[in-house]
Amino acid sequence: MTNYPEFTSPILSELPDKGTISCSSPSNIALVKYWGKRPVQLPENASISFTLDACKTITSLHYKKHDKVSENFDFDLIFEGKHKLDFKPKIQSFFSRIETYLPFLKQYHFTIETSNTFPHSSGIASSASGMSAIAYCLMQLEKMINPAMSEVECIQKASFLARLGSGSACRSIQGPITVWGKHADIQDSSDAFAIKFPDKVHQNFEDYQDTILLIDKGEKQVSSTVGHDLMHGHPFAAKRFEQASGNIIKLKEILISGDLNSFIEVVESEALTLHAMMMTSLPYFILMKPNTLSVINKVWEYRKKTGSKLCFTLDAGANVHLLYPNIEKDQILEFITNELVVYCQNGQYICDKIGLGAKLL
């Protein structure tokens, strides 16, 4: 029995013998954050994100059919040219979660060859881009096996599978703005997969920029699994989930109206709340670094001085994502190079913007 029988699929045609499927899938940055989940990989609240463009994983899935079905999953993982044994357990558990939905998995040997366009251990989460890329490749194989599958079904199932690899990965399959998690005010939203934000987005958000300041490239202090777990029994959890739900309603209106001042308020409040949740959990964590706070203060100063619509958001780490409209790009890049680069580790930052999601190469 599965929770989602609509995503199980019979094997309708002859399995292809061997071949390679290559795709790219981007990272994404949440505006309303997913923080807190229940089994299996279901979010406690709806989240909404910008899909990125430049920060992505490029994956080739080489498949070769076995003569008979093997007992275990049979795959190799090559990351940036090298066999990576330490990444295998994650893929192993991903495969066991999705096996019911892709019954052909044990009939193949897979070599998964993958690399990222962003520096490894830059503190940029590679699970969203990495897992969505594998899910997307696997769906291309499934499409060969079940040719009747429509493009819409295929995209939806890719997001569904990606979610089982890493929650936020389900928001990377499509772009430019996606919503994951059932919410009464978002038509067709679901806990099982992400959808494209369904309403017409104001042109203020066209080509929205995200410059990622790499403040601290160290190993993650808290894995996302541990982090999400901290929300169980958290004294403020129920209120937080309620707040997130309210912020989805606010952000929906903002994305339609183009009200950038309200956008700043919701996005920065979400970022600080995410960190507040970690500071007030047991055990507690401070994931910002002194330079994170310096950047935040500089952003506030700059906004006050210039009337700019620049704002920040944070992931579960010290790096800062600077979000701003495309029309302000030149001035803000000047501000970054003149005043913010000093706070970046080795002066490193990545210029990205909103993008369209996974694609076949």
Angle of helix 88-98 versus helix 151-165 axis, rounded to 10: 130
Binding mask 54-93 for ligand DP6 (x = CB under 6 A): ----------------------------------------
Residue 335 CB, nearest distance to ligand DP6 (Å)? Answer: 26
234 touches ligand DP6 by CB under 6 A: no
Please state whether 212 falls in left (phi above 0), alpha (psi between -120 and 50) or beta: beta
Q: Which is nearer to ligand DP6, 51 or 166 (CB)?
A: 166
Kindly tell me which of 9 and 41 has the beta carbon lying closer to ligand DP6.
41
Query: By CB under 6 A, which span of 1-9, 27-35, 78-86, 98-106 interacts with ligand DP6?
Result: 27-35
- Judged by CB under 6 A, does residue 281 bind ligand DP6? no
In whole angstroms, what is the distance from residue 118 CA to residue 24 CA? 13
How many Å apart are CA 140 and CA 146, to the nearest integer? 10
CA–CA distance, 293 with 36 (Å, rounded to integer): 25
- 167 lines the binding site for ligand DP6 (CB under 6 A): yes
Binder among 9, 114, 129, 166 for ligand DP6 (CB under 6 A):
166
Residue type, 316: A
According to the binding rule CB under 6 A, does residue 13 interact with ligand DP6? no
Is 225 an interacting residue with respect to ligand DP6 (CB under 6 A)? yes
Q: Which two tokens stand for residue 176?
A: 């430019």
Using the contact rule CB under 6 A, the part of the chain among 32-40, 193-201, 230-238, 239-247 near ligand DP6 is 32-40
Partners of 253 in beta bridges? none
Examine residue 30 and tell whether it contacts ligand DP6 (CB under 6 A): yes
How many residues bind ligand DP6, per CB under 6 A?
A: 17
Binding of ligand DP6 at residue 228 (CB under 6 A)?
A: yes
**Is there binding between residue 172 and ligand DP6 (CB under 6 A)?**
no
Burial 301-337 (b: 16+ CB within 10 A, else e): ebeeeeebbbbbbbbbbbbbbbbbbeeeeeebbebbe
**Residue 30 or residue 186: which is nearer to ligand DP6 going by CB?**
30
User: CB 46: neighbour CB atoms within 10 A?
Assistant: 25
* CA atoms lying within 13 Å on the CB side of residue 192: 13
x-or-dash pattern for ligand DP6, window 302-321, by CB under 6 A? -------------xx-----
Residue the block writes with tokens 């999601």: 357
> From the list 27, 51, 132, 168, which residue makes contact with ligand DP6 (rule: CB under 6 A)?
168
Query: How many angstroms separate the CA atoms of 211 and 191, rounded?
Result: 29
Q: Could you say whether residue 224 binds ligand DP6 (CB under 6 A)?
A: yes
- Cβ atoms of 312 and 299 within 8 Å: the answer is yes
Determine the angle formed by the axes of helices 260-279 and 237-257, rounding to 10 degrees.
160
222 and 160 Cβ atoms separated by less than 8 Å:
no
CB of 266 to ligand DP6, least distance (A): 14
Q: Which of residues 318-347 bind ligand DP6 (CB under 6 A)?
A: none
* Residue 33 is a binding residue for ligand DP6 (CB under 6 A): yes
CB nearer to ligand DP6: pick between 145 and 164: 164
Which residue number, 28 or 209, has a Cβ lying nearer to ligand DP6?
28
**86 token code pair:** 């330490």
The binding track of 118-147 with respect to ligand DP6, each residue x by CB under 6 A or -, is -------x-x--------------------
Q: Which of 162, 120, 118, 115 is nearest to 137 (CA)?
A: 162
Nearest to 194 by CA among 159, 227, 165, 220: 159
Our finding on whether 297 is near ligand DP6 (CB under 6 A) is no
Per-residue DSSP letter, 162: H
Residue with smaller CB distance to ligand DP6, 112 or 162: 162
Give dist(CA 201, CA 198) in Å, integer. Answer: 9
With respect to ligand DP6, which residue has the nearer C-beta, 113 or 315? 315
Q: Which residues bind ligand DP6 (CB under 6 A)?
A: 30, 33-35, 41, 47, 125, 127, 166-168, 224-225, 228, 274, 315-316
